[in-house]
């Protein structure tokens, strides 16, 4: 049996999405910047996709800019937002994705900003009192905090963060890559200036994403070139990726309730079986379903002689997952997220992440293989 439990890394493309993309590939190949009929047909498809995304998020089509994915969108929001508003102070958390952390670190190293890290607890929750302190004791700040941690699954109350940022006139960027399509986002109500999406996290294609820029914010492009994306991103658009992204998000919203019930059931079932079958197993991140992304379960297994071989052994058994241990005094490369929350570096950790295509039978198979590996 082959089991794929690494959906936080990427997902398989939905057949409905493929159908939409194949139609475009076979029938509409024009350059969307061309003014003739072949180009206009493709331009229409892009703008239809933009309208679809905007309507689902309760945004304006003029606030949606298509990108190559979440990393580009994060970079565009952070670099352009900081540069164009002359911001000298930024706040993030050590548990953020490297697309955010490395961007801030580069800006700090070059002297553009002073970077502050908000405290997190042992489950990855943001310390809101500390965030308030950082915002109140510095000049205007740029805040970047993700909706759900990609390794732990811990959810951040981004409504509360948005309210706090508004109080201190801070710009708020939220990496919603892991939650887009899994939770509804109402951007008329949420006080956020930038959010990001990567299509391949919600059964869409790789190489496509978008950046939402609130209408009150005006930034300059990160990638210069032509006048594409209303002069905000040079380069011929990834038409098939954009069409696939919009269809994937449409499907995700259409099936959201059933998807969540199914996937949460898989996660809860696996957690219960692990607790029953493997002695001294521990879970990283929030375990309260109301505070945890239902697609992610991060597990620390008992210390074992072949800890560094656990993922490899799962792979040999046909099970795809990801993870690692916390870094130990900088002597080994491990998870910066697990290190930030103080996880035991001696315990091998595995992130299992689920999708609508996973089954209970796959979970049972995985548990049986884990029992054997932990007993050896």
Separation of alpha carbons 223 and 234, rounded Å: 6
Secondary structure letter of residue 326 according to DSSP: B
Rounded to whole angstroms, the Cα distance separating 245 from 17 reads 8
Task: In whole angstroms, give the CA distance from residue 43 to residue 26.
Answer: 16
Q: Does the CA dihedral 124-126-127-133 come out positive or negative?
A: positive
Axis crossing angle, helix 239-254 with helix 15-27, rounded to the nearest 10: 150
Contact 236, 162 (CB under 8 A): no
Number of neighbouring beta carbons within 10 Å of residue 186 = 11
Place of tokens 């670099």: 79
- Give the rounded distance of the alpha carbon of 141 from its chain centre: 23
Active site positions, annotated: 327
CA 321 vs CA 54, 260, 312, 353: distances in Å = 33, 20, 10, 7
Distance from C-alpha of 133 to C-alpha of 125, rounded to nearest angstrom? 16
Give the separation between CA 67 and CA 273, rounded to whole angstroms.
40
Contact present, 339 and 329 (Cβ < 8 Å): no
DSSP string, 228-269: HHHHTS-S---HHHHHHHHHHHHHHHHTHHHHHHHHHHHHHH
Structure tokens at 369: 């293989």
Pairing status of strand 141-144 against strand 171-175:
parallel
């Amino acid at each position: 049996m082959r089991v794929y439990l690494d959906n936080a890394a990427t997902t398989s493309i939905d057949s409905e999405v493929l159908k939409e993309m194949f139609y475009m590939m076979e029938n509409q190949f024009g350059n969307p910047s061309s003014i003739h009929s072949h180009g206009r047909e493709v331009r229409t498809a892009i703008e239809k996709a933009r309208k679809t995304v905007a309507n689902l998020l309760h945004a304006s089509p003029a606030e949606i800019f298509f990108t190559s994915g979440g990393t580009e969108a994060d970079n565009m929001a952070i670099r352009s937002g900081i540069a164009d508003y002359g911001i000298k102070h930024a706040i993030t958390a050590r548990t953020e994705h490297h697309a955010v952390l490395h961007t801030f670190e580069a800006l700090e190293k070059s002297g553009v900003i002073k970077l502050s890290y908000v405290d997190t607890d042992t489950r990855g929750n943001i310390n809101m009192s500390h965030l308030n302190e950082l915002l109140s004791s510095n000049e205007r700040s740029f805040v970047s905090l993700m909706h759900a941690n990609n390794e732990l699954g811990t959810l951040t109350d981004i409504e509360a963060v948005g309210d706090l940022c508004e109080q201190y006139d801070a710009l708020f960027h939220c990496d919603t890559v892991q939650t887009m399509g899994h939770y509804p986002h109402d951007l008329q109500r949420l006080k956020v200036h930038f959010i990001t999406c990567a299509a391949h996290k919600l059964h869409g294609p790789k190489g496509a994403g978008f950046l939402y820029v609130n209408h009150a914010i005006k930034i300059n492009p990160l990638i210069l070139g032509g006048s594409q994306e209303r002069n905000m991103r040079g380069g011929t658009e990834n038409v098939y990726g954009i069409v696939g992204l919009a269809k994937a998000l449409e499907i995700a919203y259409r099936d959201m309730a059933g998807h969540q019930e199914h996937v949460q059931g898989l996660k809860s079932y696996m957690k219960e079986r692990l607790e029953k079958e493997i002695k001294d197993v521990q879970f990283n991140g929030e375990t309260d379903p109301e505070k945890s992304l239902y697609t992610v379960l991060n597990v620390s297994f008992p210390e074992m002689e072949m800890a560094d071989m656990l993922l490899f052994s799962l792979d040999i058994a046909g099970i795809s997952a990801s993870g690692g241990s916390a870094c130990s005094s900088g002597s080994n490369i491990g998870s910066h997220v697990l290190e930030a929350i103080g996880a035991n570096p001696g315990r091998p950790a595995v992130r299992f992440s689920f999708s609508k295509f996973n089954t209970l039978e796959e979970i049972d198979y995985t548990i049986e293989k884990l029992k054997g590996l932990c007993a050896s």
